[in-house]
Amino acid sequence: MELGYLGAGIGASIAVLGAGLGIGKLASAALEAMGRQPEAAGPIRTAMIIAAALIEGVAFFALVVCILLAVKA
């Protein structure tokens, strides 16, 4: 019973860590690209926001799966 909670907690922490690292790398690359080409800042910002939303969506889905595993355990 307790191992289900442990597995859900570890899974949730890995999902949050992965999402944080992914969004950090995405923002770093986008800011560097904007610094190199300031005239392209608008399309770069739009692409960055869309990609960040997709990363957050996957992370949220992973957290929901972990919560369902914790409730089921």
Amino acid at 20: G
Nearest in space to 9 (alpha carbons), one of 67, 60, 49, 71: 67
Number of folded domains in the chain? Answer: 1
Q: Give the tens place of pLDDT for each residue, 27-51.
A: 999 999 999 999 999 999 999 999 9
| DSSP single-letter state for residue 58 | H
How distant is the alpha carbon of residue 44 from its chain centre?
18
Residue 23, domain extent = 2-72
Distance separating alpha carbons of residues 67 and 73, to the nearest angstrom: 10
**How confident is the prediction for the chain on average, in pLDDT?**
93
Nearest in space to 62 (alpha carbons), one of 22, 26, 24: 22
CATH number, domain containing residue 45: 1.20.20.10
* pTM of the shown model: 0.83
